[in-house]
Amino acid sequence: MTAALGPPRHLVFLGPPGVGKGTQAAELARELGIAHLSTGDLLRAAVAEGSELGRAADGHMRAGRLVPDELVVEILRDRLRRSDAAPGYILDGFPRTLAQAKALEQFAQLDAVISLELDPKVLVERLTGRRLCPQCGSVYNLATRPPREPGRCDRDYAELTLRPDDRPEAVEVRLQVYEKQTAPLLEHYRRLGLLRPLDASGTPAEVAERLRRLLRVGPGREPGPGSPKDRRSR
Ligand code: AMP
């Protein structure tokens, strides 16, 4: 499944809540022309729709606990079948347990697992400072990416909101759940030779730059004149 040339196209972004997985995954996916698949976003959409799955997931999510494996695996497996995932994908927030990782191995083959790493104190600041636009989905952070006008979206001026699970009580549970249930995946992927650690400190632009160097993508790595890809396309 791995392309012989070019950047990896089947990626997992692993890391604690608040580390910036969503921000980095969205941008890299757009740049590489692959799908950004966040199980958190898929579940929030199901909750907003009021579907059976959404009703089953809602209470777990509000409390900061994981949604049961079989529900999340099913939603992800379905999503991977859609055509926009055919060129590749970044899985953001999946897998979160060893059982999910094993299930994923039955229907996907990964090129790399990027492990975003950050000091726990900074994580809490990032999570409790996160604000969302309920209309367009833009994500802000009071510390690192504030809106131009306090409390208002830059794009549509909607009033920004706090995600229910970014409340301090839920944040604490989410960090504990990560340590207990998700952190063991680091060792799993290290053993498989897929793990690529990434320092997630600093601004989103700084992290993006490190990520591109790690994956060898970006302006410095575009095929130049005379490269095999460039010759083929002429
Ligand atoms: P996220 O947006 O990735 O922080 O996810 C928000 C919430 O959705 C999590 O706290 C869980 O309740 C749920 N969730 C997202 N992805 C998963 C997953 N892979 N397994 C179980 N629960 C998940």
Other beta carbons within 10 angstroms of residue 206's beta carbon come to: 12
- Dist. CA 72 → ligand 1 center (Å): 9
> Tens digit of pLDDT for each residue in 170-200?
899 999 999 999 999 999 999 999 999 999 9
Q: Mean pLDDT in the chain?
A: 89
Domains and CATH numbers, the chain: 10-117+169-219 (3.40.50.300)
In this prediction, residue 5 has a pLDDT band, given cuts at 50, 70 and 90, of low
Other beta carbons within 10 angstroms of residue 51's beta carbon come to: 12
- Residue in the structure block whose two tokens are 């899985």: 91
125 has a pLDDT exceeding 70: yes
* Active-site residue list: 21, 96, 130, 163, 174
Choose between 221 and 89: higher pLDDT. 89
- Express the helix, strand and coil content of the chain in percent, nearest 5 each: 50, 15, 35
- Dist. CA 3 → ligand 1 center (Å): 30
Percent of the chain with pLDDT over 70: 91
Atom nearest to 60 CA in ligand 1: 12
Helices (H), the chain: 21-32, 39-49, 52-63, 69-80, 98-107, 120-128, 168-177, 184-191, 204-215, 228-232
Q: Which residues line ligand 1 (CB under 6 A)?
A: 17, 38-40, 43, 60-61, 64-67, 72, 93-96, 100, 165, 174
Name residue 92's beta-bridge partners.
Answer: 13, 38
222 has a pLDDT exceeding 60: no
Closest residue (by CA) to atom 14 of ligand 1?
40
Atom nearest to 93 CA in ligand 1: 3
Atom nearest to 94 CA in ligand 1: 19
